[in-house]
Every structure is written in structure tokens, then in C-alpha cells.
A and B are shown apart, each in its own frame.
Chain A
Amino acid sequence: MKNLVTLFCGALFGLGLVVSGMTDTTKVQGFLDFFGAWDATLAFVMGGAIIPMFIAWRISAGRVKSVLGDRIPQPPKTELDRALISGAIMFGAGWGLSGFCPGPALASSSFGGLGGVTFLAAMLAGMVIAPPIIRAVKAAP
């Protein structure tokens, strides 16, 4: 049952990304282009996605376990550390340059052509080599 839910959620996420237009890199770059021909679509996608999830967090508040028995994850520490900020800067830079973030890059892998596959391969490689970089950032004085 848990596996079925996982597959369903992945499928609905993929469908939502295609329907929302977020697999079109020009819409994403258009949103980030605040001083050009600004495209507000991404704000509608974010807003639309936050509404059901906001309700879900309210429902889960005070509950320890999910319907199928796994623990509801606890909120992370509220620290704003160097790793969070430098990671967000790197991610934002790559996102702006390509118009791709991880979800849409995966969702479009079957129809994104050579460019999409190249981005995806580089992203996966980046995730493979990330751990020593994360340790170095956290250890730096």
C-alpha cells in the first residue's frame, strides 16, 4: 500500500509539473526576469501547491504518525547556517542559467532531448560529489 501511494504521488507530481508549464525553461527564466518581460506563472504554481500542503501540515499537527504508520517528520532546527545560504545561492544560479530545477528536469527527461539529459546527468553528478563539499563548507572557520 505504501509503495502504491509513493508511485501515485510521484506520478501526480510529474503530471502537475507538465500541466503547470514548469517543464518549459523559458517560463521559469521568465519568472526570474523581474526587470524584463516578467512571467508570473511560477508564482501561481507555487501558490497552488502551497495551499493543499498548508492544510496537510495543519492536519498533521499534533499527530505523531501518518495514516500508514510512519512517523511525521519533525521540523528542522531553525538555524540559518552557511550551508543553507551558500547552497541556495548555488542552486539559484544553476536554476537561473538553465531554467531547470530537480523536479522538472526529471519530469521532462523523456521529452527534453539532449539538452535535458545533459543537465540531468550533470545534476546527478553534482549530487554524487556533494558530500565532501558539504563537509568542507561546514568545517570552514
Chain B
Amino acid sequence: MDYTSWAYGLLGGLMIGCAAAIYLLMNGRIMGASGIVGGLMDGSGRSTWAERVLFILGLVGTPALLGLVYKLPSTNVTSNIGLLIIAGLLVGIGTRLGSGCTSGHGVCGISRLSIRSIIATLVYIGAGAAIIIIARAIGVLS
């Protein structure tokens, strides 16, 4: 059992949850990554573009600055470019169609005891688990 990984997970999770809590209580906004970015991509968030850009700047910029000082752990992402394109398209379309991702449904929705978010989270975790079994069986994932 990797207790260090769990401890960092819990610590990082608390930081994510505090960010979401402050965003809600101070600004009245829900911290959903796909919603914040998606609104910029399809133009539906045109009236709030500045705050979306600022949020993304913080999200992208902090690890970038941290990377100048520390050696950040590798993403260990697959080198299969075709697979990454398919996965990216599925995540982009799926999160917009399903109105949320791990932060929106998983963190902000479950904590509100929203039935929609709880069901969505169970479904995307189930779909992720199923696709891993399938991808292994056909040799796409090792």
C-alpha cells in the first residue's frame, strides 16, 4: 500500500476543495474546469470571458512557475498520439454534453448531494473502468 501517495492525494484534494469553496463563497461561482474552459471555446461564456481567462491563467501558471523551481513528477502519458486525439475529443465533447467533469460533477456536485452529479460521476467512473478493460483486451493499453 502506498500511504505517501494517499497522504499527498488527501492534501492536494483539500487544496482543490478549498479553492472550490472560496470560489463559491466569495464569487458565487462553481469551480468546474470543463465549464470554465468550454464557455470560452463555444462562445457561450462570452460575457464572463475575463474571469475564465484569469482562472485558467492561475491553473496553468502555478504549475509552470513551480516547474521552474522543482522537478515536477511526469504525467506518464501514453506516446500513442492517435489515442490521445480520440481521448481528447471524447473528453471535450463528453464534458460539454454531460455538463461537467471531475471537478464540476465530482467535487462541486457530489458535495451538494446533487443526484445528477452523483449519477454522472458513477457513470463516468464506470465507463472509464470498462474502457480500460476493453483497451487492454484489444492491446491498445498495456
A interface residues, Cβ below 8 angstroms from B: 2-3, 5-27, 29, 32-35, 39-57, 59-60, 65-73, 75-80, 83-103, 105-116, 118-131, 133-134, 137
> Known contacts being A52-B17, A53-B21, A96-B127, is A23 close to B75, with CB within 8 Å?
yes
**A131 to B141 CA separation, bound complex (whole angstroms):** 30
- A115 and B78 form a contact (CB under 8 A): yes
> Known contacts being A123-B92, A130-B93, is A11 close to B13, with CB within 8 Å?
no
- B28 and A122 form a contact (CB under 8 A): no
Q: Which residues of the partner chain B approach A131 to less than 8 Å between Cβ atoms?
A: 42, 44, 96
Counting from the closest, the 10 A-B pairs by CB-CB distance are A126-B92, A87-B98, A20-B12, A48-B13, A122-B88, A10-B58, A92-B127, A94-B90, A90-B94, A87-B97
Nearest-neighbour CB distance to chain A for B128, whole angstroms, equals 3
Q: Which residues of the partner chain A approach B24 to less than 8 Å between Cβ atoms?
A: 53, 56-57, 60, 66, 72
**Total number of B residues with any Cβ neighbor in A under 8 Å:** 106
- B54 and A46 form a contact (CB under 8 A): no
Q: Which of A21, A56, A98 contacts B25 (CB 8 A)?
A: A56
Nearest-neighbour CB distance to chain B for A132, whole angstroms, equals 10
- A48 and B97 form a contact (CB under 8 A): no
**A125 to B128 CA separation, bound complex (whole angstroms):** 21
Q: Which residues of the partner chain A approach B11 to less than 8 Å between Cβ atoms?
A: 19-20, 48
**A52 to B25 CA separation, bound complex (whole angstroms):** 11
Secondary structure class of chain A's binding surface, majority of residues: helix
**A129 to B41 CA separation, bound complex (whole angstroms):** 9
- A55 and B21 form a contact (CB under 8 A): yes
- B77 and A116 form a contact (CB under 8 A): yes
Nearest-neighbour CB distance to chain A for B141, whole angstroms, equals 7
Selected A-B contacts with CB under 8 Å, 18 pairs: A14-B61, A18-B12, A25-B75, A29-B132, A35-B133, A49-B107, A68-B28, A90-B91, A91-B101, A92-B94, A95-B91, A97-B131, A102-B95, A103-B59, A119-B88, A122-B84, A122-B87, A128-B92
Nearest-neighbour CB distance to chain B for A108, whole angstroms, equals 5
